[in-house]
Amino acid sequence: MVSPDFAELQHSLTEVSETVHRLERRFAAAESPTEKADIELLLSFFKGAKQNEQNKIELHKLDGKMEQLRYAISDPERYVPPLPPPSLSGSAYYHGSPLSLADAASRPQRDLESAEQRKLQLEGAITRWQDDLPEWGKIIKPALARLGAEYQLSVSEEGTRPPDDQDTKDVSNHGGGVAAPITDRRAAVDAYIVEVFEKTGKRIRRTDIWKMAKYKTRTEFERWQRNDAKNSNKTAHENFTRILTDKPHLK
């Protein structure tokens, strides 16, 4: 079973990766040198954010590995390493081979020391990224202003065409009272995330928004964000709109 913290880390990495992919598609379609330069700058930022999320995931896995190694050191006679998953390196599991008492006393200790060094490297990289965020905010602000609020999601999944008629929904039954493109809500969320980053230096995620609205899962938020006509929910619309209007993450 995947722990809630690890699931959140994976979800955050997915979100940042999708943003990088959208920006790469937009960069390929851009014709203006100025627009290309702006997108390239944003790509540098979001690739850094992606690496930061990857570092957090590696650090999370490393903590589990170190726990196993400490167990091996404390009770070498009972420790029998499990077989490694096919997708992972077997080095942490000693290739699934039972250890001799001599090896159990030495190899886990050496690996633990190596893991501790790697942990320090990851923690340092994560701290440096957090420290650099305010400066990044100043650097990318002009590019964001030129590209517009929906810079992250203006490119459709199929390519660079604008949304067609099927992408436009009537949201009057959600309490909005007007017809709006399906990308508007996503763009509004993106604009809010950027605003929080610019004004506070803090990078919030979509998870922070639906949790602020007192939801325990992301289901209603994702339905609202994509303007799901089959699962419309007026209460959810009011709750998430209130977050974007009141801007609690700025207070």
User: What does the pLDDT look like over 199-234, one tens digit per residue?
Assistant: 887 888 888 899 999 998 888 888 898 888 788 888
**Both 157 and 192 in a single domain?**
no
Q: The domain containing residue 241 runs over which residues?
A: 163-251
Q: 171 and 142 share a domain?
A: no
- Tell whether the model's pLDDT for residue 192 goes beyond 80: yes
Residue 162 is predicted with a pLDDT of: 34
pTM as predicted:
0.56
For the segment 111-116, the average pLDDT, to the nearest whole number, is: 86
Which of residues 37 and 155 earns the better pLDDT score?
37
Bridge partners (DSSP) listed for residue 168: 181
Of 135, 161, 187, the domain-final residue: 161
234, 120: one domain: no
Taking residue 43's Cβ as centre, other Cβ atoms within 10 Å add up to 16
Please indicate, yes or no, whether residues 21 and 122 belong to a single structural domain of this protein: yes
Burial of 69 (0-12, 13-18, 19+ CB in 10 A): buried
pLDDT higher than threshold 70 for residue 56: yes
Q: Are residues 103 and 200 in the same domain?
A: no
pLDDT band at 81 (very low <50, low <70, confident <90, very high): low
**Tally of structural domains, the chain:** 2
Asked if residue 171 and residue 152 are part of one domain, the reply reads no
Lowest mean pLDDT among 136-145, 149-158, 223-232: 149-158
Do 168 and 154 lie in one domain? The reply is no
Average pLDDT, the chain: 74
211, 90: one domain: no
Which of the listed residues 137, 161, 185 is the one where a domain comes to its end? 161
Are residues 141 and 247 both part of a single domain? Answer: no
Higher pLDDT, 168 or 103: 103
DSSP letter assigned to residue 77: T
Q: Are residues 145 and 211 in the same domain?
A: no
Shared domain check, 101 and 145? yes
Question: Of 161, 187, 220, which residue sits at a domain end?
Answer: 161
pLDDT confidence of residue 77: 57
- Mean of pLDDT values over 80-104: 47
- Do 157 and 167 reside in the same domain of the chain? no
- Kindly tell me if the per-residue pLDDT of 140 is higher than 70: yes
